[in-house]
Amino acid sequence: MAEATHRSSLIGRIRARLFGLAIVLLLVALTAISLYSLSQFEHDLVPEMDRKAAAVGESLAADIVRAVDYGVPPNALKGMGPFLAAGMEGHPEIRYLAVCDGEGAVLYHAGAAVDGVLAHFRAVAAGGAAADGRSVRVDVFYDTAVPITARAGAVGTLHVGVDQKFVQKTLEDIVLDILIVLLVSLLVTFELLLFLITFNISGPIETVTKLMTRVENGDFRHAMESRSKDEVGQFIAAFNDAVGLVHDLYRGMVRRADAYRQATGDELRTARRRMVAALRQLHDRFAFADAPKPAVYRESTLVDVRTPLFIFVFAEELSRSFFPIYVRDLFAPVPYLTPEAVIGLPIALFMLFVAIGTPFAGAWTDRYGNRPVFLWGAGLAVVGFLGTALAFNLYDLMAWRVLTAVGYAMATMACQGYIVAITTAENRARGMAVFVGAIMVAAICGTSIGGVLAERLGFRATFFLSAALALVAAAFVHQVFRRRESGPEAEQPKVTTREVLILLRNPRFAVMMLFGAVPAKLILTGFLFYLTPLFLHELGNSQSDIGRGMMVYFAIMVFGNPLCARLADRFRVRAPLVTAGGVLAGGGALVVLLWHDTAAVIGGIAALGLGHSLSTAPLLAMVPVVCEREVRILGQTMVLGVFRILERIGSVAGPFVTAALAGLFGFAEAMAGLGAIVLGSTVVFTLYFLIAGSAPPRPATRPAG
């Protein structure tokens, strides 16, 4: 209690100041850069848009000039309406095209009404405004005037009106992107900040403060390791000297008493008794280390695991936005599989081997400890990433992805094991929140930065970078994780077929899995991981755009999921939230069918993020309620473990189901198909739980007597 109070004072103040100062500085710096970037972009890009408008105008003007040169009077050209309308096709930003005579009167026109710009047309004709290819903002348009000059002389002017909203929207898109950049930079920096501050500054202060409190309570068993030469390091050295002096004095007395252990003769025995009495008196009041030196105290923190986990998952997420496109580039036919299914195969295999590898990795963690399992896992992932980068064709790519998947399962399970080992039942939820938080933040940053990197460096180079990052994560763990960090408390229950069968006999659990959890994973891998990169690529989006688009899901999840979890706990509504989540996720995917464009896909991703934010935690919270009897038999951890394993069926099946749909109907239709599956499942789920209720009926109690 005293330790906690103390921490909240000094450490709390230090952390608040460090993070407060860092966040203020970062926000100021990044906002300044972002605003400057935006102004520069506007300065450079608006003229570039003008040039395009001028190019369209010149192209059309050239045809008009040709007709006039053939002798057709400018005011007697035939079919100009359709001609101009055709000229606007493929350029959604162009709202009107107008051909004016030498006086500025409109001869021909297509597109939006130009009543508001007639005065400008006349001004251009009169020479009062430029006709030099630079745009002028008039009414709600940017008007670019292109002179029409035939062999006989000036004929008139062709005006190209670009929607002002389009220019604004392009700039707004850039602003949005810059905000995303700002968010990603802040998140990545925050991870770095957390690590640097915890390891260099607040961690040592926190530990020495804790040890001082222990000494206050008479505990002299621990010293601290510090190589730092700053004021805190010097203080730790002085602290160690003090504890060392106490320890040496005590050890000297113990040695002296030991020397009398074999003493014979009354006087010597009396002397020994007096010595032992003196030592006992000390023992009653103080605690000393029973070793030649005080033990070096080292505290494990959640940051130990957060930083390497973040780096490792970040490495894997770097390829999220382009992986299906990379697979398509390495395409090789596989007997009995459609091309779409072949593209989905490496994703499905990855999910499958993560699912298979997870229980094994858990067992290895218990047996060998977190550190070696993480290091081996990271090693496998490094080889997997390198192999993926150098893959010759689809077949070896699949082998490398399997290796990466096993490595991923091992590394993440080792991190989970570490958290279990260093937390207690009271603070384990917080520990797991750190675990999930690190994965989500890594997904946000990795997906968006991966898109940018792939665009600039190429797919293969990005995989090399992933390998390097996995190595960095391993180096962290090598330095930070203790050699052995698992105790009896860290033991994980083993899932066998028996437990799975016991649970599946519960119809509520089976319905929840089949129509709630599995479809949720199915749409995640199918819609987000498989279809989104391919469809957005087909729609002409760059890798960066795809990365940023996919990031939306994780960004919504990272903020929405904890919020919805709190709501579910507070109001005790679970099944309705799962229903709402399913409707949102499925409905969002279904909507893609209506528009077939980037905005619809991004909308679908956002709906998926919102839907999963609503449903993920309530679904998990339903498990102990639905499986009340099984929890009593198998324990809650086991039941949740089975749930976690079974829901991965959806992850594995996702790419295959999606590939089948995409092969038959196309990408947008496949997205809608997944939406329909989720909506249908949600209907069954809702109806079942409305009728049957969440909790199983209690056995009727016999009347007393």
Q: Which of residues 176-215 bind other proteins (CB under 8 A)?
A: 177-178, 181-182, 184-186, 188-189, 192-193, 196-197, 200-201, 209, 212-213, 215
Q: Of these, 65, 275, 439, 589, which contacts other proteins (CB under 8 A)?
A: 275
Q: Which residues inside 542-581 make contact with other proteins, applying CB under 8 A?
A: 542, 544-545
8 Å CB contact between 348 and 654: yes
Contacts of 47 (CB under 8 A, 6+ apart): 134
x/- string (CB under 8 A) for other proteins, residues 426-455? -----------------------x--x--x
One residue of 107, 282, 591, 645 binding other proteins per CB under 8 A: 282
| Residue placing its CB nearer to other proteins in the complex, 123 or 253 | 253
Match 């100021």 to its residue by tokens. Answer: 28
Nearer to other proteins by C-beta: 453 or 631?
453
Q: Burial, 173: exposed, middle or buried (Cβ in 10 Å; 0-12, 13-18, 19+)?
A: exposed
**Which region among 33-41, 350-358, 600-608, 618-626 touches other proteins (by CB under 8 A)?**
33-41
| Minimum CB distance to other proteins smaller for 48 or for 426 | 48
Look at residues 533, 585, 556 and name the one whose alpha carbon lies nearest to residue 440.
Answer: 556
676 is a site residue for other proteins (CB under 8 A)? no
- Backbone Cα Rg of the chain: 34
CB closer to other proteins, 253 vs 504? 253
Listed in sequence order, the residues at least 6 apart from 290 whose beta carbon sits closer than 8 Å to its beta carbon are none
Instruction: Check if the beta carbon of residue 515 is closer than 8 Å to that of residue 688.
Output: yes
DSSP code per residue over 209-242: HHHHHHHHTTB--EEE-----SHHHHHHHHHHHH
253 binds other proteins per the rule CB under 8 A: yes
Let me know if 5 is exposed, middle or buried by CB neighbors in 10 A (0-12, 13-18, 19+): exposed
Among residues 140, 111, 117, 116, the alpha carbon closest in space to that of 129 is found at 117
Could you tell me the two tokens for 326?
A: 């990379």
229 contacts other proteins (rule: CB under 8 A): yes
Indicate if the alpha-carbon torsion angle 22, 24, 27, 31 is positive or negative: negative
Under rule CB under 8 A, which residues in 40-79 are in contact with other proteins? 40-41, 44-45, 48-49, 51-52, 55-56, 58-59, 62
Q: Is 76 exposed, middle or buried (0-12, 13-18, 19+ CB in 10 A)?
A: exposed
Give the Cβ contact number of residue 458 at 10 Å: 15
Taking CB under 8 A as the binding criterion, the range among 147-155, 381-389, 537-545, 571-579 that sits at the site for other proteins is 537-545
Interface residue with other proteins among 216, 258, 489, 597 (CB under 8 A) is: 216
CB of 670 to other proteins, least distance (A): 17
Does residue number 241 form part of the binding site for other proteins (CB under 8 A)?
Answer: yes
Within 286-315, the residues that bind other proteins by CB under 8 A are 286
Q: Does 284 bind other proteins (CB under 8 A)?
A: no
Is residue 28 at the binding interface for other proteins, with CB under 8 A as the rule? yes
CB 618 within 8 A of CB 575: yes
| Residue 149 touching other proteins (CB under 8 A) | no
Query: Which contiguous run of DSSP H or E holds residue 590?
Result: helix 575-595
Q: Does the footprint of other proteins cover residue 272 (CB under 8 A)?
A: yes
Query: Is 285 a binder of other proteins (CB under 8 A)?
Result: yes
Closest to other proteins by CB, 394 vs 590, is: 394
* Count of residues that bind other proteins according to CB under 8 A: 102
Neighbouring CB atoms inside 10 A of 618's CB total: 24
Q: Does 90 interact with other proteins (rule: CB under 8 A)?
A: yes
To other proteins, the closest distance from the beta carbon of 211 in angstroms equals 9
Scanning residues 469 to 528, which ones bind other proteins (CB under 8 A)? none
Q: Interface with other proteins by CB under 8 A: which range of 25-33, 118-126, 552-560, 601-609?
A: 25-33
Sheet with 153-163: strands ordered across: 106-111, 94-100, 153-163, 141-150, 136-138
Among 77, 107, 263, 432, binds other proteins (CB under 8 A): 263
Token readout for 163 is: 């929607």
**Does residue 21 touch other proteins according to CB under 8 A?**
yes
Query: Would you give the binding string for other proteins spanning residues 653-672, x where CB under 8 A is met?
Result: --------------------
